[in-house]
Structure 1
Amino acid sequence: MMTIRKSKLFKYSFSLILCELSESVLLFSGVFLFAFGHGEAIGVIGLLDTFLLCCFAIGNALADSYHNFYTRAKQNSRLPLAKSIFNRSLWVFLSQGFKVFLVTALLGVLLSGWMSSESIEIFIQSLPLLLVLVLVFFAGLSHHALLVGMGKLKAVGILALISIVVNTSLILGLQQFAGEVFDPVTMVLIAGICSELLWLILLRIHINSLLSGVEVNSAPSARLQKVIVKAGFLPGLAVFFFYLFTYLFMGYLTICCAASEVMYFSMVFALWSVMMAPANGAYEAALHLFSEEWNSGNLERFEAIKRSVTSLSFLLSLGVFLALSWVLIYTMPGDPYLWLILILLPLLALLNNRTKFGFLSLFVQIRISRYSSLKVVYAGIVILTLMAFAIFFQVNTLILILALLVGQATLCSLLSREICWSSFVIPQFLGLHGVNRGVSGG
Structure 2
Amino acid sequence: MITGGAAWSLLADTVSRKWTLVLALVVLGISTAGLTFSSTFLLFGLFRGLGAFSLSGVRCMTVTFISEFQIRHYRGCMICCLQLAWVIGMVGIPVLPFSWKSLILIGVIPIIFAIVGLTFFPDSPRFLLSRGRDKAAVRSLQMIHAINTGTKKITFPIRRLVDNKTVAEIRSISVVKSFIPSYMEPKFICIPVVMLTQFVLMFSYYTLAMWFPYMLAREEAFFPVVRVRNIPQDCRAGIYYEKSGVYDSVLSETGFFGAKYIDNDTLVISPLERKLPEPENPCALTKKVRFDTGSSNVMDALACMPSLIWLVVKIDTMGRKFFLTFAHIIAGCLAFASYFMHNVGMELLFSCLFDSVALLSVAVSHCLAVELFPTRVRVLGVALVEGSAQLGAILADIGGAISFGLTCVVIVALIAIAMAISGILTITLPDTRGIALR
Is the TM-score greater than 0.5? no
Larger radius of gyration: 2
Between structures 1 and 2, the one with greater helix share: 1
TM-score (norm 2): 0.39
Between structures 1 and 2, the one with greater strand share: 2
